[in-house]
Amino acid sequence: MSDHHLESPADLDKALATAVSNQLSAAIDARGSATLVVSGGSTPKGLFALLSDVPLNWEQVTVLLADERWVPTDHQDSNERMVRERLLQGRAQGARFVSLVPHYPDQAASLKVVKQQLTEMPTFDVVILGMGGDSHTASLFPCSTEVTEGLTTTEPALVTHPKTAPHARVSLSRRRLSDTRYGCVHIVGADKLDVINNAQQADALEQAPIAAFLPPNDAFEVWYAPK
Ligand code: 6PG
């Protein structure tokens, strides 16, 4: 695994946008299509603006979220709303987006459809994970009662209930997120880099879910810049 430490968030967004678009372009050349999994939160907003303007065959790209808040897709906290507003614009407007809350507010019906779709999807081409200061990633929160399930289940997705963040969540599982040709962790701020370094020393993955995607458990690359 090679980490990428850039000098500023703007430099980080540019370099990561180039790396992601190269991965997607290679996937389309090799297999005729590509699947991109992105995270919500605030960190990726600059990256999404750059990616939306990349000259790719976006019609061959499927985009989905690593996790979603259990809210309507027009809610201010909806990751889907943020992705539609910031990524699926301009050249990227033609991408196919797969919602994690297709039958909101019917959670059981939504989860059934999402699990089926995720099961039928091939290996992802790119997964971009964010991370919170508590070392959660996607919605695999150390404070949630479902964290062990999220880290061990063979199911592709689950509902989690973080105690330190708003809303119930739909999260892809560790197993499904790891099924990717390329994975990266996108973080800004020295505090988050400290969390990454400490996470790899944690006694159990439940204490630091991000460690499930880092050596020796997995080989996601860390893309970092100071604030
Ligand atoms: C979410 C995200 C979550 C996010 C981290 C970091 O739904 O909130 O998917 O996992 O990546 O919480 O969020 P920031 O980028 O806002 O720090």
Report helix, strand or coil for 23.
Answer: helix
The reported pLDDT for the residue numbered 215 is 94
The reported pLDDT for the residue numbered 2 is 76
Task: Judge residue 7's burial from the number of C-beta atoms within 10 Å of its C-beta, 0-12 exposed, 13-18 middle, 19 or more buried.
Answer: exposed
Portion of the chain with pLDDT greater than 70, in percent: 100
Q: Is there an atom of ligand 1 within 6 Å of 42 CB?
A: yes
Question: Which atom of ligand 1 has the smallest separation from the CA of 68?
Answer: 7
pLDDT digits (tens, 9 = 90+) for 8-51: 999 999 999 999 999 999 999 999 999 999 999 999 999 999 99
**Candidates 43, 164, 173: which one to mutate for ligand 1, based on the most atoms within 8 Å of Cβ?**
43
Please name the residues in contact with 39: beta carbons below 8 A apart, sequence gap of 6 or more: 65, 66, 67, 79, 128, 129, 130, 137, 138, 186
The reported pLDDT for the residue numbered 42 is 96
The reported pLDDT for the residue numbered 110 is 98
Residues 83 and 44 sit within 8 Å (Cβ to Cβ): no
Residue 184 has pLDDT above 70, yes or no: yes
The reported pLDDT for the residue numbered 138 is 98
Q: How confident is the model at residue 155 (pLDDT cuts 50, 70, 90)?
A: very high
Report helix, strand or coil for 188.
Answer: strand
The sign of the dihedral angle between the CA atoms of 67, 71, 75, 76 is negative
Q: How confident is the model at residue 175 (pLDDT cuts 50, 70, 90)?
A: very high
pLDDT digits (tens, 9 = 90+) for 74-105: 999 999 999 999 999 999 999 999 999 999 99
Half-sphere exposure of 187 (CA within 13 A, CB side): 27
Separate counts of helices (H) and strands (E) for the chain = 7, 10
Q: What's the whole-number mean pLDDT along residues 62-66?
A: 99
Q: Count of residues for the chain?
A: 227
Amino acid at 160: T
pTM above 0.95, yes or no: yes
pLDDT digits (tens, 9 = 90+) for 90-148: 999 999 999 999 999 999 999 999 999 999 999 999 999 999 999 999 999 999 999 99
In angstroms, what is the span from residue 165 Cα to ligand 1's centroid? Answer: 10
CA dihedral 190, 194, 196, 197 (to 10 degrees): 130
**Candidates 13, 16, 39, 128: which one to mutate for ligand 1, based on the most atoms within 8 Å of Cβ?**
39
Portion of the chain with pLDDT greater than 90, in percent: 98
pLDDT digits (tens, 9 = 90+) for 195-215: 999 998 999 999 999 999 999
Residue 1 has pLDDT above 60, yes or no: no
